[in-house]
Amino acid sequence: MKDRMKKQTINNKQYLSGPEILKEMNISWSKEMFDKTKEDYKKVSRVIPEIEWSVFAPYIQAINTLKKDMNAVILAHNYQTPEIFHCVSDIRGDSLQLAKEAGNVDAEIILQCGVHFMAETSKLLNMDKTVLIPSMEAGCSLAESITGEDVKKIKNENPNIPVVTYVNTSAEVKAESDICCTSSNALEIVNSLDSEEVIFLPDEFLAMNVAKETKKKIIMWKGRCEVHEEFTPEEIIEFRENEPGVKVIAHPECSPDVLAESDFSGSTSAMINWVKINQPKKVLMVTECSMSDNISVENPNVNFVRPCNLCPHMKTINLENILESLWNKQHEIIIDPEIAIKAKQAVNKMIDL
């Protein structure tokens, strides 16, 4: 009775929780496991205390075993925590990079460690594959700021003006757009359009940053990333005073005032490359804080000053629900085929350009 109560049923399938899966796979922490996973631990030892490894290691072993058995590939966004980013993922990067690279691998299942719109983009570019996300709570303030109906309304109010949509949106919103963009190619995409006016959705700050660089008139929406909107120019000035010589690099979802106080701005991938190439003695990455942890592993000579703004949506993904997602084949991303065709066109237009 107790066992029966422990196991729930989802869609007539037996569902096991993380600890139950470990038991079923006969995996538990031991001295042998510590020796076997030493190399994995080395990768994260600068940011994860050894005492925590006994909790992470059994899950890492179970996920890596299951991944091979199920012919699955794990994608991890730059904002995932180091034990996910370095120890179980196969492909790492920003959302578009992840979706594009997933299309080149021979796997039946794609498990997305990132937020819902990212999993949707992976599905759009890999319609023949099963795409899973470990947590349905992994939303995004920016993606949720606008719906497909909102875009239809904006288009009605501004006829014949092309719509550029940031990839941080749902498939439904992409489907109503002419072309997508990322934070690194936004300006290039806007300038490529044969129109004096452009509707740029939904990130207001990214739109303002593009408007400063282009001659076109930009029609904006009031979407914000709840992580990047928190940073202020005063905070950056204070960091510079307390950390003399620090280089400041910021994500373009921050306000134009924050970017004006920075030495460089670019997408998460561009920020990572900047650190790799320039190897500053001290750097402040004005973005979600896991990114500094993740790249500090590969840049041991750089001192990362950490302003800590966590994305609560990204942080709903953990090793336990990754294991549950694989074992229980949950939660599968399904997109209406009509929406998928239109949304994919907008994404592909950007890729072609």
What residues line the site for ligand SF4 (CB under 6 A)?
Answer: 115, 140-142, 168, 225-227, 288, 311, 313-314
Contact 146, 173 (CB under 8 A): yes
Short-list 268, 164, 151, CA closest to 207: 164
CB 340 within 8 A of CB 127: yes
Q: How far is the CB of 258 from ligand SF4 (least distance, A)?
A: 14
Report in angstroms how near the CB of residue 36 gets to ligand SF4 at its nearest. Answer: 34
Six token digits for residue 328: 């229980």
Going by C-alpha positions, the residue among 339, 352, 316, 329 that lies closest to residue 81 is: 316
Nearest CA-CA partner of 340 in 91, 191, 106, 171: 171
Q: How far is the CB of 149 from ligand SF4 (least distance, A)?
A: 21
Q: 37 or 165, CB closer to ligand SF4? A: 165
DSSP state of 222: -
Task: Give φ, ψ of 181 to 5 degrees.
Answer: -150, 165
Q: Compute the least distance from the CB of residue 311 to ligand SF4, in Å.
A: 3
Instruction: Kindly state the smallest distance separating residue 210's Cβ from ligand SF4, in Å.
Output: 16
User: From the CB of 132, what's the least distance to ligand SF4, in Å?
Assistant: 18
Question: How many helices (H) and strands (E) are present in the chain, helices listed first?
Answer: 18, 14
Q: Which of 192/256 has CB closer to ligand SF4?
A: 256
d(CA 163, CA 154): 9
Nearer to ligand SF4 by Cβ, of 140 and 347: the residue is 140
CB closer to ligand SF4 out of 27 and 140? 140
Nearer to ligand SF4, 87 or 138 (CB): 138
Residue 214 Cα distances to 196, 198, 352, angstroms: 10, 11, 21
Closer by beta carbon to ligand SF4, 62 or else 113: 113
Q: Nearer to ligand SF4 by C-beta: 188 or 230?
A: 230
The letter for the amino acid at 15 is: Y
- Residue nearer to ligand SF4 on the CB measure, 67 or 251: 251
Rounded-to-integer distance, Cα 53 and Cα 65, Å = 18
User: Is cis: bond before 331, omega within 30 of 0?
Assistant: yes
| Burial (CB count within 10 angstroms: exposed 0-12, middle 13-18, buried 19+), residue 42 | exposed
Q: Which pair of structure tokens corresponds to residue 153?
A: 């309304």
Read off the DSSP letter of residue 331.
P
Classify residue 333 by its DSSP letter. P
Smallest distance, Å, CB 188 to ligand SF4? Answer: 20
CA nearest neighbour of 15 among 286, 243, 289, 326: 326
Smallest separation, CB 313 to ligand SF4 (Å): 5
In the complex, what is the shortest distance from the CB of residue 120 to ligand SF4, in angstroms, rounded to a whole number?
A: 13
CA atoms within 13 A of residue 121's CA, in its CB half-sphere: 33
Nearer to ligand SF4, 140 or 343 (CB): 140
